[in-house]
Amino acid sequence: DQQVKQNSPSLSVQEGRISILNCDYTNSMFDYFLWYKKYPAEGPTFLISISSIKDKNEDGRFTVFLNKSAKHLSLHIVPSQPGDSAVYFCAASRSNAGKSTFGDGTTLTVKP
Amino acid sequence: DTAVSQTPKYLVTQMGNDKSIKCEQNLGHDTMYWYKQDSKKFLKIMFSYNNKELIINETVPNRFSPKSPDKAHLNLHINSLELGDSAVYFCASSQAGGARGNEQFFGPGTRLTVL
């Protein structure tokens, strides 16, 4: 049972436009959601997170939206830059469980 | 300074051999993890240690044995390597109760190739 899903394996956008990456989850016990960014031959790095008590968190060009009723979150990148090209992983955690469950990743390509 | 380091970065070995991957974190975190990223790029947790104690052991063959000599180190030993063990292995660490909800810091990965 895959509890965190990223249904789009890839996304291509033009530089300067908005990138929207989506993530769905099934376990209503998750109380924190995180996005990680991964470049080739490197480990994932934390990008932004959101607590389940919020519906939006913004950090510069990156905004994460959480829709708990739909068990859906999305990452918006505005404006997109070529350096944003990477694999983006969505993850969900329960604060007392000591682990995160990761989605399959979405490869974002930002074209100059 | 590298926060989470892994050695070696690349490991090529024959089927049936035993190998180890080392991981060290200098962040003072109390929890460390091992993940496997297979050819389909899925990132699956294998083990988690908190203060040197095993707290998560996902469905992993018992040929894989993690060892945590102290809070800063979590090594992965693999016995009788099989072709299907070929993957990238990531070590990570986190601090319980972190403000950003189990934010993890990952090492650069070890690419294991079993021939």
Task: Evaluate if residue B99 carries a pLDDT over 90.
Answer: no
DSSP code for A70: T
Predicted local confidence at residue A97, as pLDDT: 67
Which tokens belong to B72? 């800063």
Contact in structure between B23 and B75 (CB atoms under 8 Å): yes
pLDDT in tens, A79-102: 999 999 999 999 998 876 667 889
Q: Which of B41, B48, B105 sits opposite A87 (nearest CB)?
A: B41
Residue B106 CA to residue B23 CA, distance in Å, equals: 10
CA distance A15 to chain B (A): 25
Rounded to whole angstroms, the Cα distance separating B88 from B109 reads 6
Residue A98's H or E segment, with its range, is none
Q: Which pair of tokens denotes residue A57?
A: 């968190």
Query: B107: closest CA among A32, A38, A101?
Result: A38
For range B67-83, the mean pLDDT: 94
> Quick check: A41 contacting B, CB < 8 Å?
yes
* Nearest residue in B to A47, CA atom: B103
